[in-house]
Amino acid sequence: MARLILASSSPRRKEILKQVQPQFDIITREVDETVEALLAPEEQVMTLAIRKAEAVAKDNVDAYVIGADTLVFYQDEALGKPKSYDEAKQMLTLLSGNTHFVYTGTCIFHENKKQVFYEKTKVTFWELTEKEIEDYIRTGEPFDKAGSYGIQGYGATLVKEIHGDYFSVVGLPIAKLYRTLTQMGFTFAINK
């Protein structure tokens, strides 16, 4: 059986991938996560996904290596992971009552070949009170998430509507990933 590697330490990506493939390895490498801000959002996330996958694929040429990166964009500004309570509050206040876009870039390397794609999902927040924002930040959930929220946790209560791939907002567009891996020759456990 071909080896599958997730080049991400994200517990959310791990859980999503487990839905379709119970066994895979997790291997990560430190990569430079700075990208040219003038690049289009989809180019930014795909560039970072390539870096993450490529860094692991160098030592694992025979494996299928998956790299992914997710960014939240509001009015063409990237909202990364907040570094403080104040930064989380500022981001959530910006998103309150507004629509933003979540981009997830995905890259798969196998035998020196690569496939790269992205998903763009439109997310609209409810109008949030200051208390709702503060209560949410106190859960601790915003601090390891782009845009200061996790749609799969308490953050679901902030979201009024979503248009696009839910799993992409969580961090891994599993339906497109499944199809791309299958086209590249990977056989999932479910298909044996």
Residues annotated as catalytic (active site), given as ranges: 69
98 vs 81: CA distance, rounded Å: 19
Residue from 128, 79, 126 nearest 102 by CA: 79
The single residue listed with the structure tokens 């071909």 is 2
Residue from 72, 74, 70 nearest 105 by CA: 70
- Sign of the Cα torsion 123, 128, 134, 135 reads negative
State the Rg of the chain over Cα: 17
5 vs 53: CA distance, rounded Å: 9
The amino acid occupying position 70 is T
Decide: 115 and 164 in contact? Cβ < 8 Å.
no
